[in-house]
């Protein structure tokens, strides 16, 4: 039997006995970022496709959530920093190899875009809205002229936002559980799925709800496929990856993952949405609420379990 | 120039003098350490083998911490030594999560801290790092790998050695003589 022990009494705060450098802030932000990315993606997509009439909630109402989601997410990120007053250092450099640098700059594009998008659609929520000043009307007209550019920028930046949250983790080869490139597409799919679920929750239009439920069902299918793929990859890889997978296959994260994420967050809502599409009467809020809940728990489970997976000792 | 360190696992007795020397020299905050001692016990009683290693940052050639730092605070300094500039560090913890050796920690002042090979305070003045110079069994060797006459080059030429988790692909520069 081989036993490795630190005998000099190392007990560095947040590192020992097990890495816990990231608390609730990071998974919460990843969830909010993914959700905002999903909502903005569908808003931009249906604008580009010219389907604003068929998808009024996706294009004109759900995006009102996104500035709030993003700002709360950014606040969580800020609270997570240990050297808070130096946060502006993120914006004095661009580091292409660092996913976190990509994320900081993407947020710098997506957050203002989401606010502009809401401003352009403000009359949907407040029909009597008056900008009061002429320059605000001019600004409104200016942005409207470039609607196509704004939609495309939002489509692409929301995809980057969705996928980077996963790449952020997969770039750390020190944590075998995170070190799989499937996390990028997986987090993107999960983000799009929670975005679609939020649109279903807000929508009062039956046809829009059904279409979004169809899309969500497809996304859940992709997510389940990617999760199975992730485990196949781990189990066919090195010992540290097998150990990482075993955190979910009998280890301490088995119940939260398989019960809350896979069963309640994916399988049950998939079944509910399937039955709804088939014409059964289903409680409208249940499936999307479960999807959103599952997405949140998924980020927490991956963030915490990843910090428990390691190479040494 | 490529600074590196070698630790003789056959000579190290695990006294932790290197840990205390580092804490004193570098003013490491109480409760933290930049280097530590690992004891590996292998086998079944009475056939037991023991290996003692004084460990610290590996100052990797392919450092994941430098790669993932969003501000460039983690960087390669003279001789490939990996350092953190406190005024550029936002304390996001990405480098801490990226290090397979868990060699970094958040300093109570907020920035991320780690072993510096005593680059600015000792090595640039021609001295050995504090841990090396204080070792009572003289089990540590430090120097420039590009200089064939440096203590570390000479000992790596004659002894068998290993690095920690080479499969992580970080090309560590802390060698363990076995």
Q: Please state the ipTM of this predicted complex.
A: 0.90
Q: Tens digit of pLDDT per residue, chain B (178 long)?
A: 999 999 999 999 999 999 999 999 999 999 999 999 999 999 999 999 999 999 999 999 999 999 999 999 999 999 999 999 999 999 999 999 999 999 999 999 999 999 999 999 999 999 999 999 999 999 999 999 999 999 999 999 999 999 999 999 999 999 999 9
Q: What are phi and psi of B36, to 5 degrees?
A: -155, 165
Confidence band for A313, pLDDT divided at 50, 70 and 90:
low
Res A219: pLDDT:
97
Q: Is residue A44 part of a domain?
A: yes
From A257's Cα to the closest Cα of chain B, the distance in A is 22
Integer Cα distance of B2 and B103 in angstroms: 20
Distance from CA of B18 to the nearest CA of A (A): 10
Cβ separation of A12 and B100 shorter than 8 Å? no
Taking the C-alpha atoms of residue A104 and residue A99, their distance in angstroms, rounded to an integer, is 9
The CATH number covering residue A280 comes to 1.20.1630.10
HSE of A99 in the Cβ direction (CA atoms, 13 Å)?
20
Q: What is the pLDDT of residues A39-93, one digit of tens each?
A: 999 999 999 999 999 999 999 999 999 999 999 999 999 999 999 999 999 999 9
The verdict on B99 touching A (C-beta cutoff 8 Å) is: yes
Backbone phi and psi for residue B39, each to the nearest 5 degrees, phi listed first: -115, 125
Average pLDDT over residues A10-34: 94
Residues 161-180 of A with CB under 8 A from B: 171-175
A202 CA to chain B: closest CA distance, Å?
35
* Closest by CA position to A177, among listed A36, A19, A56, A62: A19
Closest-CA residue of chain B to A311: B100
What is the total count of domains within chain A? 1
As separate numbers, helices (DSSP H) first and strands (DSSP E) second, chain A gives: 13, 1
Instruction: Please choose, from the candidates A197, A223, A222, the residue with its C-alpha nearest in 3D space to the C-alpha of residue A276.
Output: A197
- A248 φ, ψ to 5°? -100, -10
User: Is the residue at A222 inside a domain?
Assistant: yes
Q: Which residue of chain B has the CA closest to A83?
A: B110
Would residue B43 be called left, alpha or beta, if left means φ above 0 and alpha means ψ between -120 and 50 degrees? left
Residue in A with minimal Cα distance to B93:
A21
Number of residue pairs across A and B with CB atoms under 8 Å? Answer: 161
The per-residue pLDDT for A1 is 79
Say if the Cβ atoms of A84 and B100 lie within 8 Å.
no
Would the CB atoms of A81 and B38 count as touching at under 8 Å? Answer: no
Helix, strand, coil abundance in chain B, percent, nearest 5: 25, 25, 50
Average pLDDT, chain A: 94
Residues on chain B touching A307 (C-beta within 8 angstroms): 97
**What's the CA angle centered on B143, arms B142 and B144, to 5 degrees?**
150
Of B39, B105, B106, which has the smallest distance from its Cβ to A7's Cβ? B39
Q: Which domain holds residue A288?
A: 25-308
Asked if residue A138 is part of any domain, the answer here is yes
Distance from CA of B31 to the nearest CA of A (A): 7
Selected residues 107-166 of chain B with any CB under 8 Å from a CB in chain A? 109-112, 164-165
- Domain count for chain B, please give it: 1
* Greatest pairwise CA separation for chain B in angstroms: 53
Q: How far apart are CA B120 and CA B114, in angstroms?
A: 14
**End-to-end CA, chain B:** 25
Taking an 8 Å cut-off on Cβ atoms, the answer to whether A86 and B87 are in contact is: yes
Summarised one tens digit per residue, pLDDT across range A166-212 is 999 998 889 999 999 999 999 999 999 999 999 999 999 999 999 99
| Residue A91 in contact with partner chain B when CB distance is under 8 A | no
User: From residue A211, how far is each of A63, A148, A200 by CA, in Å?
Assistant: 18, 24, 9
User: What would the mean pLDDT of A272-279 be, rounded to a whole number?
Assistant: 93
In a domain, A82, yes or no: yes
Assess contact for B152 and B140: CB atoms under 8 A: no
B89: contact with A, CB 8 A cutoff: yes
Residue in B14, B46, B68, B85 to test binding to A, most A beta-carbons within 10 Å: B68
Q: Which domain holds residue B11?
A: 3-177
Chain B 25-54, CB below 8 Å of chain A: which residues? 31-33, 36-44, 52
Q: How far apart are the C-alpha atoms of B101 and B14, rounded to whole Å?
A: 19
What per-residue confidence (pLDDT) applies to A283? 87
Let me know: does B82 contact B57? Beta carbons within 8 Å: yes
Nearest C-alpha of chain A: how many angstroms from B101? 7
Domain with residue B7: its CATH number is 3.30.70.20
In terms of Cα–Cα distance, which of B148, B165, B162 is closest to B10? B162
Tens of pLDDT, residue by residue over A239-269, are: 999 999 999 999 999 999 999 999 999 999 9
Does pLDDT of A144 surpass 90? yes
């Amino acid at each position: 039997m081989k036993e490795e022990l630190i005998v000099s009494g190392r007990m560095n705060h947040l590192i020992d006995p097990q890495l816990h450098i990231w608390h609730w802030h990071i998974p919460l932000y990843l969830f909010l970022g993914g959700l905002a990315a999903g909502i903005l993606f569908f808003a931009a997509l249906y604008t580009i496709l010219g389907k604003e009439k068929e998808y009024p909630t996706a294009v004109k109402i759900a995006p009102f959530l996104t500035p709030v989601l993003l700002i709360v997410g950014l606040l969580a990120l800020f609270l997570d920093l240990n050297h808070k007053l130096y946060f502006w250092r993120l914006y004095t450099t661009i580091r292409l190899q660092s996913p976190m640098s990509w994320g900081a700059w993407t947020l710098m594009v997506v957050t203002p875009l989401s606010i502009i998008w809401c401003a352009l659609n403000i009359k949907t929520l407040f029909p009597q809205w008056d900008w009061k000043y002429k320059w605000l009307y001019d600004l409104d007209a200016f942005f409207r002229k470039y609607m196509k550019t704004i939609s495309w920028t939002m489509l692409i930046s929301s995809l980057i936002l969705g996928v980077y949250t996963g790449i952020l983790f997969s770039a750390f080869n020190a944590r075998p559980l995170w070190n799989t490139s499937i996390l990028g597409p997986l987090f993107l799919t999960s983000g799009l799925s929670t975005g679609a679920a939020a649109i279903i929750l807000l929508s009062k239009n039956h046809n829009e709800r059904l279409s979004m439920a169809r899309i969500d069902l497809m996304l859940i299918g992709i997510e389940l496929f990617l999760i199975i793929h992730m485990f196949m990859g781990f189990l066919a890889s090195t010992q540290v990856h097998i150990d990482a997978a075993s955190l979910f296959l009998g280890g301490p994260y088995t119940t939260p993952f398989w019960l809350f994420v896979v069963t309640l967050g994916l399988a049950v809502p998939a079944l509910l949405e399937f039955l709804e599409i088939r014409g059964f009467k289903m409680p409208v809020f249940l499936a999307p609420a479960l999807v959103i809940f599952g997405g949140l728990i998924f980020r927490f489970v991956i963030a915490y379990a990843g910090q428990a997976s390691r190479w040494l000792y | 120039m490529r600074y590196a360190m070698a630790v003789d696992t056959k000579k190290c007795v695990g006294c932790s003098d290197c840990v205390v020397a580092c804490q004193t020299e570098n003013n490491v905050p109480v409760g933290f350490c930049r280097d530590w001692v690992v004891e590996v016990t292998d086998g079944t009683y009475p056939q037991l083998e023991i290996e003692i290693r004084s460990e610290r940052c590996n100052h990797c050639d392919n450092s994941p911490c430098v790669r993932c730092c969003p501000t460039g605070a983690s960087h390669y300094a003279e001789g490939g030594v990996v350092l953190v500039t406190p005024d550029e560090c936002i304390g996001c913890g990405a480098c801490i999560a990226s290090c397979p050796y868990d060699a970094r920690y958040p300093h109570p002042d907020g920035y991320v801290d780690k072993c510096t090979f005593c680059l600015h305070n000792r090595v640039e003045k021609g001295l050995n790092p504090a841990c090396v110079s204080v070792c009572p069994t003289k089990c540590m060797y430090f120097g420039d790998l590009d200089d064939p006459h440096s203590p570390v080059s000479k000992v790596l030429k004659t002894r068998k050695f290993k690095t920690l988790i080479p499969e992580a692909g970080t090309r560590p520069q802390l060698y363990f003589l076995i």
